[in-house]
Amino acid sequence: MLDGDLLGGALSRLDEAARHIQIDPDVIERLKYAREMTKVALMIRMDDGSRKSFLAWRCRYDDTRGPTKGGIRFHPDATAEEVETLAFWMTMKCAVMDLPYGGGKGAVKLDPRTLSKTELERLSRAYVQAFSKVIGPDRDIPAPDVYTNAMIMGWMADEYATIRGEPSPAVITGKPIALGGSLGRNDATARGGYYLVDHLAKELGLGAGMRAVVQGFGNAGQFMAEMLAADGHRIVAVSDSRGAVACETGLDVARLLALKAEGKSVADLAGTPGVRSISDEELIATECDLLVPAALEDMIHVGNAGTVRAKVILELANGPVTPEADRILDGRGVVVLPDILANAGGVTVSYFEWVQNRQGYYWTLEDIHARLKAIMEREGAQIWAIAQEKSVSPRTAAYIHALGRLAKAIEAHGTQQFFAG
């Protein structure tokens, strides 16, 4: 992390929120430590017969409000600290949305694009073999995150069923529809963020014909760009890991999606009429109504926060704005809709998937959208109201909101269990 350590920065938000409410300091202290962190080396056979091992983690951060829930990331820069931080954010996110879950997260340290499809399947199965006693439909429920997808969740669900000797679809969400996945999970992260912005548009000073910038063009970023463009907003800049492009009159989102589907970069659109290549820092500094970080952590930091010329930042990524950058943005009047609310559409539809798997009855897409919209609007409005009432940022308000629910659950469990020993 550019502005300090990632976990320390994340936990500092707890202290900030606690300054504005009456809360037992033991609750804050308890939320500063993960309940369980498991690290293994996964050894798989490569297609050429050689063997390779990859570091892998699963963190169950806090299960006070229910089984732990959170995605699995495949990324070459994954670290134990990052996994723990992401699991902490999941704890707060599930509490913000009032889902009956705690927070968890997992990762494998690798670039999945360097593996063949069969190697990737063996790796995904090895992950479940290694963590088969950690995960479970009532214990810890994984889902997709960066560089993982429905296909990988399908292999993982299949491996878990093989180990248990029976299908157990509720162990993992974000599965292919054919294996008990939910309608609407694919675009849920972006859709939740979209519903939130739409609901708070008046308060945020946003309206028709917005200029939007999207950083990261994967699951979250692509669907967000598509929804914004479909509603008549202009996507004036986008990026992925290989570059960024801008177009004053609005990028052709269909062409960007087609490039990504062919395994190319958004940067490959540069040179077509009106489209120019820009740097990552130019993208952050692009004048716009809505800036949507949808890539990785720490993208807006002390070094570039002062260049942001957006009215509103919608954090579809987890942790894209450092605490120091938050202070700079706040001072400049940029409103940040925080990750633990803004990107919670994903885990919310994962929850719907888990519910449908358990009841064996499946909802229509209209049901999913209506339920997601209702929850995003309900929690978004409550957090906005807390922010106004206490004169705090939406992020601090979201932490206050989550802490209230977590504190109640901790208290209801009985403090002797939590603080014994």
Ligand X SMILES: NC(=O)C1=CN([C@@H]2O[C@H](COP(=O)(O)OP(=O)(O)OC[C@H]3O[C@@H](n4cnc5c(N)ncnc54)[C@H](OP(=O)(O)O)[C@@H]3O)[C@@H](O)[C@H]2O)C=CC1
Ligand Y SMILES: O=C(O)CCC(=O)C(=O)O
Residues that bind ligand X (CB under 6 A): 144-147, 189, 215-221, 239-242, 265, 280, 294-296, 316-318, 343, 346
Closest contact distance (angstroms) between CB of 119 and ligand Y is 23
Q: Where on the phi/psi map is residue 183: left (φ > 0), alpha (ψ -120 to 50), or beta?
A: beta
Where along the sequence are the contacts to ligand Y (CB under 6 A)? 69-71, 90, 93, 143, 145, 173-174, 318, 343, 346-347, 350
373 is in an annotated binding site: no
8 A C-beta contact, residue 172 and residue 141: yes
175 is in an annotated binding site: no
Closer to ligand Y at the Cβ: 75 or 233?
75
Closer to ligand X at the Cβ: 39 or 242?
242
Q: Where on the phi/psi map is residue 180: left (φ > 0), alpha (ψ -120 to 50), or beta?
A: left
215 interface partner picked from ligand X, ligand Y, none, CB below 5 to 8 A per type: ligand X
User: Which of 124, 116, 117, 113 lies closest to 75, judged by CA?
Assistant: 113
Q: Which residues pair with 349 in a beta bridge?
A: none
Closer to ligand Y at the Cβ: 143 or 206?
143
Whole-number Å distance between alpha carbons of 265 and 250: 17
332 interface partner picked from ligand Y, ligand X, none, CB below 5 to 8 A per type: none
- Cα distances (angstroms) measured from residue 223 to each of 55, 220, 230, 241, 256: 31, 6, 10, 17, 11
8 A C-beta contact, residue 86 and residue 60: no
Closer to ligand Y at the Cβ: 64 or 318?
318
30 interface partner picked from ligand X, ligand Y, none, CB below 5 to 8 A per type: none
> Quick count: other Cβ atoms within 10 Å of Cβ 78?
25
296 interface partner picked from ligand Y, ligand X, none, CB below 5 to 8 A per type: ligand X
Closest contact distance (angstroms) between CB of 317 and ligand X is 3
260 is in an annotated binding site: no
350 is in an annotated binding site: yes
Whole-number Å distance between alpha carbons of 373 and 153: 25
Closer to ligand Y at the Cβ: 124 or 318?
318
Closer to ligand Y at the Cβ: 102 or 243?
102
- The DSSP 8-state label assigned to residue 272 in this structure reads S
Closest contact distance (angstroms) between CB of 340 and ligand Y is 9
Q: Give rounded-to-5 percent helix, strand, coil for the chain.
A: 50, 15, 35
8 A C-beta contact, residue 155 and residue 121: yes
The DSSP element (H or E) to which 244 belongs, if any, is strand 243-246
264 is in an annotated binding site: no
The amino acid occupying position 46 is: M
Closest contact distance (angstroms) between CB of 364 and ligand Y is 20
Whole-number Å distance between alpha carbons of 98 and 406: 10
Residue nearest to ligand Y (CB): 71
173 interface partner picked from ligand Y, ligand X, none, CB below 5 to 8 A per type: ligand Y
Name 139's Cβ contacts closer than 8 Å, sequence gap at least 6.
60, 67, 68
Q: Which residues form the catalytic set?
A: 105
87 interface partner picked from ligand X, ligand Y, none, CB below 5 to 8 A per type: none
Name 377's Cβ contacts closer than 8 Å, sequence gap at least 6.
195, 196, 199
Residue list, annotated binding site for NAD(+):
189, 219
Residue list, annotated binding site for substrate:
69, 93, 350
Residue list, annotated binding site:
69, 93, 189, 219, 350
